[in-house]
Amino acid sequence: MPRLDYTERNVWRAPSRSIPTARRIEIRTIWNGVLSKPRDLIGPYRLARLIRVGSTCAVWEAIKGENERFALKVLRGDLRDNRQEINHLKHEFEVAHKLKHPNVIRVHEFTMDGKTPYLVLELYREQNMKLGLRAGYEKLAFYASKIIEQSAQAMYHLHEHGWVHCDIKPDNILLSEEGDVKLIDFTIAQRIRKGISKLLGGARKIRGTRSYMSPEQIRGQALDARADVYSLGCVAFELLGGKPPFTANTPDELLQKHLTGTIPSIQVLNENVTPEASNLLKRLMAKKPENRPNSMWDFIKELRTVKLFKKNPRLPQEKLMLDPDQFSDIDSLKKTGE
């Protein structure tokens, strides 16, 4: 198996009154490291609220002028001279600035404030799907078909622009309380290779998230839209069954299961899923790309003909998403070994 370099980007939440003091100090230290000099202005943007701190970037809600709101993805202060990390942000802009689709977050600008590089994004005041899953996947069932279709539509738009996302996972899908989707995080997207160019290029750096990575991505092969089809299969499996298709005690074991493990049946986790939907999921997660739907569009057409549930799920009576303060990404990442 090739040596892997994963984008393992643990996420910390912003300080909150409900967090124990020691933990709050730990988080504040991280938070202060986000900008070399804590301040509340970046370029013309006033930082209003810290949404998320990742391993390399912080995402802020920011205000321009009177009340124009954006999300700013800002490189951490200690990384602002790191060429590679700057290039990742630039790359995300290059991939996404031309995308215009209701289910894809708008990426407006890549720019620098002094030496601090940042991206200006459309603000979506919703949580990522991971928080929804942690609140209980059963509550998402009512919207499952819409969530899967809108995610697929977003990816189809990206594929039509010649890119594979390569990091499809619940953290990178923002979800509203009505089950509407916005796809984010184009940091590791790759150009789709077609024809002869598939054979060129040689071994590339392998990046992605273990629980959702296609076998060809794990092997470092040239990728096309079907790699995202596989990852969407894993996400849809988790959405309908509450956990990803493969879990393991070690990272290598997890990868091995993607490469050779029997594709599990979603009906074991959720009896209410129809056999047709279960078979469609299995085909999304086929080991060989040629055994999956050929494109995201082919999948969408099929999805529309398939009934997901035997008994229609009820409209949820409570909020779909967890408040970020109720949730620690650090703890959950330790548990799942993603």
Ligand X SMILES: Nc1ncnc2c1ncn2[C@@H]1O[C@H](COP(=O)(O)OP(=O)(O)OP(=O)(O)O)[C@@H](O)[C@H]1O
Judged by CB, which is closer to ligand X: 212, or 299? 212
Q: How far is the CB of 52 from Mg ion (least distance, A)?
A: 9
Q: Three-state secondary structure along 238-252?
A: HHHHCCCCCCCCCHH
Judged by CB, which is closer to Mg ion: 172, or 270? 172
Judged by CB, which is closer to Mg ion: 185, or 329? 185
Decide if residue 329 touches Mg ion (CB under 5 A): no
Decide if residue 139 touches ligand X (CB under 6 A): no
Decide if residue 51 touches ligand X (CB under 6 A): yes
Which residues, at least 6 apart from 331, have a Cβ–Cβ distance to it below 8 Å? none
Strands (E), the chain: 41-42, 45-53, 57-64, 68-75, 107-113, 116-122, 127-128, 163-164, 173-175, 181-183, 190-191
Q: Could you give the residue ranges of the DSSP H alpha helices within 83-223?
A: 83-96, 129-135, 137-140, 144-160, 215-218
Pick the closest to residue 79 from 105, 61, 53, 51 (CA basis): 53
Site for ligand X in 86-125 (CB under 6 A): 105, 121-124
Task: Give CA–CA dist 227/223, Å, rounded.
Answer: 6
Q: How far is the CB of 41 from ligand X (least distance, A)?
A: 19
Which residues, at least 6 apart from 202, have a Cβ–Cβ distance to it below 8 Å? none
**Do residues 52 and 76 make contact, with C-beta atoms less than 8 angstroms apart?**
no
Q: How far is the CB of 202 from ligand X (least distance, A)?
A: 26
Decide if residue 338 touches Mg ion (CB under 5 A): no
Decide if residue 241 touches ligand X (CB under 6 A): no
**Residue 36 DSSP symbol:** S
37 — phi, psi (to 5°)?
-125, 110
Q: How far is the CB of 52 from ligand X (least distance, A)?
A: 4
Member of 13, 42, 50, 56 binding ligand X (CB under 6 A): 56
Member of 144, 150, 152, 171 binding ligand X (CB under 6 A): 171
Member of 27, 50, 59, 175 binding ligand X (CB under 6 A): 59
Contact segment (CB under 6 A) with ligand X among 56-64, 142-150, 191-199, 294-302 equals: 56-64
Q: How far is CA 25 from CA 14, 34, 247, in A?
A: 11, 14, 32
Decide if residue 185 touches Mg ion (CB under 5 A): yes
Decide if residue 184 touches ligand X (CB under 6 A): yes
Judged by CB, which is closer to ligand X: 172, or 221? 172
Member of 13, 52, 80, 257 binding ligand X (CB under 6 A): 52
**Do residues 162 and 191 make contact, with C-beta atoms less than 8 angstroms apart?**
yes
Contact segment (CB under 6 A) with ligand X among 13-21, 35-43, 47-55, 75-83 equals: 47-55
- The footprint of ligand X (CB under 6 A) covers 9, 11, 51-52, 54-57, 59, 71, 73, 105, 121-124, 128, 171-172, 184-185, 187
